[in-house]
Structure 1
C-alpha cells in the first residue's frame, strides 16, 4: 500500500482552499446527473462492455419517504466504473487492491455497474443500499455480470423458477446510514474482519445525509486494526474512495469539513484519473484514510 500513497502526493489540509480550487476549475452544475431519468431500459457501453440496465421511472418520480435517488442510473457511476476498469487505475497497479480484496459500496443504486466491472478483479464485492433498491440491483447485476474481464457479456442463467442467478462473489445488502447499526450489518454478513475498500459514488447531494454518510464510512473503516507507527501505511488499512459530481459548493464544503475531521484526505491526482474524471469534467475523486484518533 506504500506505493499507492506515494502516488497521491500531499494531503488536503485546507478545506476552503480545496473547495475553491475545485469549483473555480468547473462551475457548479445545475444538472442532476442522471443518464436518462425517463428510460425504462438503458443500453450503455462501459470499459468496452455492453450493459442493459432496467430503471423504474415511476419509482423515481414517486414521493417515497427516504428518497428515490437510487432508482436511477447516474453519470458518476458510469465514470467511476470506467476508471475502476482502466488498466492504469492506481488502486490496482500498486496492488492496494487485488484479486483477494473485499470491497463494500455505499449507496449502490440500481445499476450494478461498479460491482459488475469489479466482479473479475476482486475476491468479494458487497453492494449496499436501502432495501427498496435491492431487487432491481440484484436483477441488473445478474443480467450484466461476467465471469471474466473480457468485453463479451455472459448470457444470464436462470433458476427453475425463472429468477436470474446472482454472481457468486457479489452480495447485495440493505444498509440505511441513518437507521441501521453498521457493526451489526457487518457481523451478519461475515465482515467482522472489515473490508479493503469502501466506495461511495455520488452519495453527497444534501446536507441531511452528510453526517450519517461520514459516520457510516468511519464505522466500517474502524473495524480494521492499524499500525500505531505508520497509520497511513498499514497494509490492513481500509481505503475510502469517494467519487462525486460537483454540484453545490456549500454542500461539498460541509461534506469535506465533516469527512476531514475523521479522515486524512487526498484528491486523486490528474495523471491517475481517466479522461472523464479529470479537472474540468465536473467530477472529482477523493481518497480517505481513517485518522488514528478516530479508530476504535
Structure 2
C-alpha cells in the first residue's frame, strides 16, 4: 500500500508534532538515544544500502541473485521498475576533527560526518513497498490520497530520464548522489564551499557504485562516456555535479543563476521533474529562515523558469525529531511565512523511527 499524506496547516501542525512525539515515546525502547550521527568515532565508515528487515518491502532476492543482476548490463542498466533490487556498498571518509573544531567552515561543522537519516531514507526509497510508485521510470506521476480528506495530490516519480535532483546541505558523505545518480538524468549536490572538497572526494572514491548510468561531471572532472564503447551505456547518462550554495547569501535571479550557479541554471532546460532533497539540515532555529528562503526561491524558479513547458517541482525534507520546538517552528514558518504547501508522509516505516519526511510544494 502506498504511503499517504497529511496536509499540514495552521490548525493541524501542533497536533501532528504532538502525535509524532507520542509515537516516539511508544517506541522509545527500540530507538537509539543519540543525536543521529551514524558513527562519531570512525574516520572511515562502511555503509550498506540494501533491503532492511524492518521495512515493508517486496520479498528480497538472495545476495547471489542480486550479484547476478548487478553484473548483467541488460538488467542493471535497463528500465527501472517498482522493485529496485540493486544493493550498494559505500565507503565514507568522515572528518571527526573538523566536526569537533570551532575553527573550520565558520564553525558550521555538522556536514563533516554522516547522519543516520540518509541511509534510512535511501533504503525506504529503494526497497519499501509504500514508496514503490516513486520508483516507476515512466516520467509520470501518481495520485496520492490525503488523510482525512477526499482530495488527492499529484506526486511524480523520483527516477527517470527526465528527472533532476538538487540536494541542499549534502555534507561530505556523497551517499545520496552516489546512489541516486544511478536513477536520474541530473544530480546536483550542494553545500557550503568548505564542505565540497571532501564531498567530491567521497563521490569519486565510490564511482564503482555508479554503474547503472554513464557519469559525466565537469565539477568532478569525470567523463565515463570516453571510457566505454557501449552505445547503450553512453546514451543512458547522469550529469552529476557539485556546486556551492550558502543559504544565507543565496539570491536567485536569472542573472545570478547563470553566473554563480551554472548547473542549477542548466537544469531548467534538462528536466521535466525536479526534486529538491534535504536531509537532517534543520536542527536549530537559526537555520530555519535561510533554508526556507532558499527552498522557496528554488521552487518558484523552476515552476516559472521554462515558459515553453511546465516543470514539476517538489521538495522532500527529512528531519530527525530532536527538539519539538524546532520542528514546530520549521513547519509554522514554512506554512505561515512562506505560504508553502506542506504534507507529512504518513508511513509505518517512518513512524517507527526518530525521523519524519515532509513533501513540500
TM-score category by the smaller chain? 0.7 to 0.9
The total of aligned residue pairs comes to 262
Alpha-carbon deviation of 1:37? Answer: 1.6
Match of 1:225 among 300, 303, 315: 303
Question: Does 2:293 correspond to 1:215?
Answer: yes
C-alpha separation between the residues in 2 aligned to 1:171 and 1:141? 10
Q: Distance in 1 between matches of 2:190 and 2:343?
A: 24
CA contact (8 A) 1:104 1:199 kept: yes
* Partners of 1:138 and 1:166 within 8 A in 2: no
Q: Is the 8 Å Cα contact of residues 245 and 282 (structure 1) preserved in structure 2?
A: yes
Residue 265 (structure 1) aligned with residue 342 (structure 2) = yes
Deviations 1:189-212 (A, max 9, x none): 243428611001001100001000
- Picking from 135, 141, 158, the partner of 1:92 is 135
Q: Which runs of 5+ in 1 are unaligned?
A: 155-162, 227-233, 290-296
Look up the match of 2:329. 254
> 2: distance between equivalents of 1:132 and 1:190?
19
Please name the residue that 2:23 is paired with.
25
Whole-angstrom distance in 1 between the partners of 2:124 and 2:158: 14
Q: 2:8 aligns to what?
A: 12
- 2:74 is matched with none
Give the stretch that moved more between structures: 111-120 or 258-267: 258-267
Deviation at 1:81, TM superposition (A): 2.0
**Which residue in 2 is equivalent to 1:42?**
45
Q: Shift of residue 149 of structure 1?
A: 4.6
* Displacement of 1:165: 4.0
How far has the Cα of 1:106 moved from its partner?
Answer: 0.4
Distance across 2 between alignment mates of 1:67 and 1:214: 18
Structure 1 CA distance for aligned equivalents of residues 311 and 4 of structure 2? 18
Mapping of 1:183-222 within 5 angstroms? Answer: 183=253, 186-187=257-258, 188-192=261-265, 193=268, 196-222=274-300
Per mean C-alpha deviation after superposition, the further-off stretch among 95-104 and 80-89 is: 80-89
- Select the structure of larger CA radius of gyration: 2
Cα distance in 1 for partners of 2:188, 2:89 equals 22
TM-score (norm 2): 0.66
Provide the residue aligned with 2:175 in structure 1: 113
SS class of match (2:351): coil
Q: Select 1:174's aligned residue among 244, 254, 264.
A: 244
Structure 2: unaligned runs, 5 residues or longer: 51-86, 137-141, 143-155, 215-219, 225-237
Task: Extract structure 1 runs of 4+ deviating beyond 6 A.
Answer: none
1:78-89 alignment, distance < 5 Å:
78-86=119-127, 88=129, 89=131
Q: Distance in 2 between matches of 1:225 and 1:68?
A: 33
For 1:201-228, what per-residue CA distance to the aligned partner results, in whole angstroms no more than 9, with x for missing partners?
Answer: 00110000100011111000001336xx
Q: Secondary structure at the match of 1:31?
A: coil
Task: Identify if the C-alpha distance between structure 1 residues 52 and 59 changes in structure 2 by more than 3 Å, giving closer, same or farther.
Answer: same
TM-score with structure 1 length normalisation? Answer: 0.80
* Contact 1:139-1:164 within 8 A present in 2 as well: no
- What is the CA RMSD across the aligned residues, in angstroms? 2.8
User: In structure 2, how many angstroms separate the alpha carbons of the residues matched to 1:204 and 1:148?
Assistant: 32
Q: Counterparts of 2:342 and 2:13 in 1: how far apart (Å)?
A: 10
DSSP 3-state at the match of 1:53? strand
The correspondence of residues 109-148 of structure 1 with structure 2, limited to 5 A, is 109-145=171-207, 146-148=209-211
- Which residue is 1:292 aligned to? none
Q: Which moved more, 1:213-222 or 1:176-185?
A: 176-185
